[in-house]
Amino acid sequence: MAKPRLRKSKQQWRDGYNKKVRIDLSKDINLMSQIIVDEIKSGIDEGKDINGKNFKKLKTATIKQKIKKGYPLTPLKATGKMQKVYVRKRATKDKQRAVVSMPLIKRGDIGFYHNEGKGNLPLRKWFGIGKVARRRLDKYIKLRIRNLLRL
């Protein structure tokens, strides 16, 4: 007669794995999240989206409003609130996850609409991880894990 197979639940497997392999990448994750924040801010300064493409030009009515209020003519830069992107939650040894967030004021809603291209706002992908940054970060973390596993 065949022996019954004992199956571990996902949680039991995860607990056993965590006891055996303990890799702390919290510092690396925090560094990567700060790189993402810096890239978003520099993209807004340069007028480029997360993939390196120029933002869509402003409409003439928007340009007139910005001149009247004394704001710069670069998209997403009027009050400077879109550039206040920050790392909301930093990674720790126990929770190896960082959260990058945009300001939660009314401008955050407008930033979301720009990022999604909703309403009458043109699509301007300014918040997120671009293709170039994703490749760089993937390469960095793979090398880091490889080096840690060699130890």
123, 117 in Cβ contact below 8 A? yes
Taking alpha carbons only, the member of 130, 123, 34, 41 closest to residue 87 is 34
For the whole model, what pTM was predicted? Answer: 0.73
Give residue 90's pLDDT band: very low, low, confident or very high (50, 70, 90): very high
70, 80 in Cβ contact below 8 A? no
140, 66 in Cβ contact below 8 A? no
Q: What is the tens place of the pLDDT at every residue in 105-134?
A: 665 577 777 778 777 778 888 888 888 888
Q: What is the tens place of the pLDDT at every residue in 8-52?
A: 666 666 666 555 556 788 899 999 999 999 988 888 888 888 888
Q: What is the mean pLDDT of the chain?
A: 81
Taking alpha carbons only, the member of 137, 131, 136, 139 closest to residue 53 is 131
